[in-house]
């Protein structure tokens, strides 16, 4: 009898010990896209284990490593179908966010944020403009972003060694810039006895557009800007643009702009040989290191935006908010838990955990806040970025405080970051991030390709002089741009702008 009892007890114990496994099967599902190239394998990446320790929330992880498979997965989601509880590294376009929210797949997180995502909510209170960027026209918040005040920027980097060699001061206006470029072109600042200097290296109108600021205005890649009264303006056909293109043509005629600027891509322009003679006066990019070997890059300093009639402005390439990084579905079994998990990434500790791993394991911090990797650079690339951190590849939800970027021990990186902080203070988006309706999106997709292809080509021809810029040619250009639908596009951008929450 006693033996039977023991057996029963053993069976009961076995049953009980199975319980955690049974519960484990009920784990919430976190799905997302992290491409193969990052080397991330979510089920073997320490980030997720450490997040369990920090937040007490664990997930069954469902990683998609193929972009097309992930896109198809998202497009197939229906409110009554099988859904993950939440999506991380979601790479949701604004159209996907809106469509999934409208079909009831993504839920409005707004009512939960204050209570269940206090770190995120505090940031939104401090920066209402960030909240506005992620808020749908009906007031809902369907996806959480990455917030990084030092988002990738297209800055101007000027060769300070040349400035010193020619005893020139840093230019502060368009006129002074032209003077400096002339000196670069004619006075052999690299000292090799040849006129091989390229005063401004650039790639297409895309780079040159960043010089519009020298005349007190900026525009986005759709050729529009928002004025002080909230009116969207077509800058492609504006008098300002005509004056700007005329100025560029003068620079071109004087040989101050890279002759290959309209024909070669940026990779073929980059100097990779550290022993090469420096030939570039000004380069564009997020850092001089994109175009120059590190030995040379140290000579290049950020050229602060030029001033025009007292106005100093610069176009922010991406703003401070990258949308669509995280969302919660209508199938979510525990919204507060999911938000507690993601909220950790909006704290400084969470930023470090996602990007640098764990203090004492992957990185260490000095008392002044400076942090450094404990492993060699090779180890960081080969192992830490793959297996201990998650920020590589698709954007993560979270907040990257400026202090994080500024406190990395590398001197060259610190110099670049410090410069970018000053630039960020002056920069703003020419047109904010909006949510277009499906109909608006379709119309833009219909009109824009032909319009931009025509306009970019015509403007490049005005710069090079292949088309002389006269009243007649300008009128023909503006007429064609309007004919291709610019006014309708401006209306769409205006409607989308007006639909933003106040």
Burial class (CB within 10 angstroms; exposed 0-12, middle 13-18, buried 19+) of 177:
buried
Closest CB 328 distance from Ca ion, rounded Å:
59
Q: Which one of the spans 41-49, 69-77, 152-160, 181-189 is the region binding Ca ion (CB under 5 A)?
A: 181-189
Q: Which one of the spans 78-86, 184-192, 199-207, 470-478 is the region binding Ca ion (CB under 5 A)?
A: 184-192
Question: Total binding residues for Ca ion by CB under 5 A?
Answer: 5
The DSSP bridge pattern shows strands 59-64 and 28-33 to be parallel
Q: Which is nearer to Ca ion, 103 or 194 (CB)?
A: 194
Q: Which is nearer to Ca ion, 216 or 255 (CB)?
A: 255
Cross-strand pairs, 344: none
Max Cα distance, the chain (Å): 108
Report whether 365 contacts 371 (CB < 8 A).
yes
Q: Which is nearer to Ca ion, 190 or 419 (CB)?
A: 190
Q: Which is nearer to Ca ion, 273 or 378 (CB)?
A: 273
Tokens of 344: 């950790």
Cross-strand pairs, 321: 147
Contact between 125 and Ca ion per CB under 5 A: no
Closest CB 427 distance from Ca ion, rounded Å:
33
b/e for 446-463, b at 16 or more Cβ within 10 A? ebbeebbeebbebbbbbb
Closest CB 248 distance from Ca ion, rounded Å:
23
**Interacting residue with Ca ion among 49, 138, 175, 196 (CB under 5 A):** 196
Contact between 276 and Ca ion per CB under 5 A: no
Residues 277 and 259: their CA atoms lie apart, in Å, by 18
Q: Which is nearer to Ca ion, 32 or 199 (CB)?
A: 199
Q: Which is nearer to Ca ion, 186 or 238 (CB)?
A: 186
Residues 96 and 193: their CA atoms lie apart, in Å, by 57
Residues 101 and 79: their CA atoms lie apart, in Å, by 9
**Interacting residue with Ca ion among 73, 176, 188, 299 (CB under 5 A):** 188
**Interacting residue with Ca ion among 55, 91, 94, 190 (CB under 5 A):** 190
Contact between 194 and Ca ion per CB under 5 A: yes
Q: Which is nearer to Ca ion, 166 or 402 (CB)?
A: 166
Q: Which is nearer to Ca ion, 179 or 196 (CB)?
A: 196
Residues 182 and 173: their CA atoms lie apart, in Å, by 14
Residues 146 and 126: their CA atoms lie apart, in Å, by 16
The DSSP bridge pattern shows strands 314-315 and 232-234 to be unpaired
Distances (CA, A) of 103 to 74, 109, 351, 444: 12, 15, 32, 23
Q: Which is nearer to Ca ion, 191 or 265 (CB)?
A: 191
Q: Which one of the spans 45-53, 194-202, 388-396, 489-497 is the region binding Ca ion (CB under 5 A)?
A: 194-202
Q: Which one of the spans 34-42, 190-198, 370-378, 409-417 is the region binding Ca ion (CB under 5 A)?
A: 190-198
What's the distance, CA 210 to chain centroid? 16
Helix, strand, coil percent values for the chain (each to nearest 5): 50, 15, 35
Q: Which one of the spans 180-188, 204-212, 213-221, 454-462 is the region binding Ca ion (CB under 5 A)?
A: 180-188
**Interacting residue with Ca ion among 114, 125, 192, 274 (CB under 5 A):** 192
Q: Which one of the spans 182-190, 220-228, 234-242, 329-337 is the region binding Ca ion (CB under 5 A)?
A: 182-190
Interface residues toward Ca ion, by CB under 5 A: 188, 190, 192, 194, 196
């Amino acid at each position: 009898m006693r033996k039977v009892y023991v057996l029963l007890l053993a069976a009961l114990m076995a049953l009980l010990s199975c319980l955690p496994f049974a519960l484990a099967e009920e784990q919430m599902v976190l799905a997302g896209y992290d491409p193969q190239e990052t080397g991330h394998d979510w089920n073997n990446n320490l980030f997720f284990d450490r997040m369990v320790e920090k937040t007490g929330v664990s997930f069954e992880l469902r990683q998609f490593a193929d972009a097309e498979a992930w896109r198809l997965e998202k497009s197939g989601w229906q409110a009554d179908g099988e859904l993950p509880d939440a999506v991380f590294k979601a790479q949701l376009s604004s159209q996907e966010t809106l469509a999934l929210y409208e079909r009831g797949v993504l839920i409005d997180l707004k009512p939960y944020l204050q209570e269940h995502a206090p770190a995120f909510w505090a940031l939104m209170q401090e920066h209402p403009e960030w909240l506005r960027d992620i808020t749908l026209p009906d007031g809902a918040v369907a996806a959480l972003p990455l917030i990084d005040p030092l988002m990738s920027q297209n800055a101007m980097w000027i060769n300070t060694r040349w400035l010193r060699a020619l005893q020139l001061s840093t230019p502060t206006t368009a006129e002074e810039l032209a003077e400096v470029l002339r000196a670069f072109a004619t006075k052999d600042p690299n000292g090799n006895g040849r006129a091989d200097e390229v005063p401004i290296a650039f790639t297409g109108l895309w780079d040159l557009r960043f010089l519009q600021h020298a005349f007190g205005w900026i525009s986005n890649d759709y050729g529009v800007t928002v004025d002080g009264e909230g009116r969207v303006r077509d800058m492609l056909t504006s008098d300002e643009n005509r004056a700007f293109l005329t100025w560029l043509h003068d620079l071109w005629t004087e040989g101050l702009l890279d002759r290959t600027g309209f024909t070669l891509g940026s990779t073929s322009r980059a100097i990779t040989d550290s022993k090469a003679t420096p030939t570039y006066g000004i380069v564009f990019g997020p850092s001089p290191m994109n175009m120059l070997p590190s030995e040379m890059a140290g000579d290049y300093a950020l050229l602060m935006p030029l001033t025009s009639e007292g106005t100093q402005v610069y176009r922010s390439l991406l703003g401070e908010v990258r949308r669509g990084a995280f969302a919660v579905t209508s199938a979510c079994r525990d919204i507060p838990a999911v938000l507690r998990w993601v909220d950790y990434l909006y704290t400084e500790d969470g930023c470090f955990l996602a990007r640098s791993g764990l203090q004492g394991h992957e990185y260490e911090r000095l008392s002044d806040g400076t942090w450094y990797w404990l492993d060699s650079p090779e180890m960081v690339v080969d192992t830490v970025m793959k297996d201990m951190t998650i920020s590589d590849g698709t954007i993560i939800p979270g907040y990257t405080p400026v202090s994080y970027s500024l406190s990395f021990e590398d001197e060259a990186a610190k110099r670049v970051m410090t410069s970018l902080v000053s630039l960020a203070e002056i920069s703003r988006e020419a047109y904010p991030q909006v949510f277009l309706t499906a109909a608006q999106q379709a119309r833009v997709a219909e009109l824009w390709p032909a319009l931009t292809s025509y306009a970019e080509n015509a403007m490049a021809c005005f710069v090079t002089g292949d088309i002389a810029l006269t009243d007649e040619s300008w009128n023909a250009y503006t007429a064609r741009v309007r004919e291709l639908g610019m006014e309708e596009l401006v209306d769409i951008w205006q409607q989308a702008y007006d639909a933003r929450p106040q």
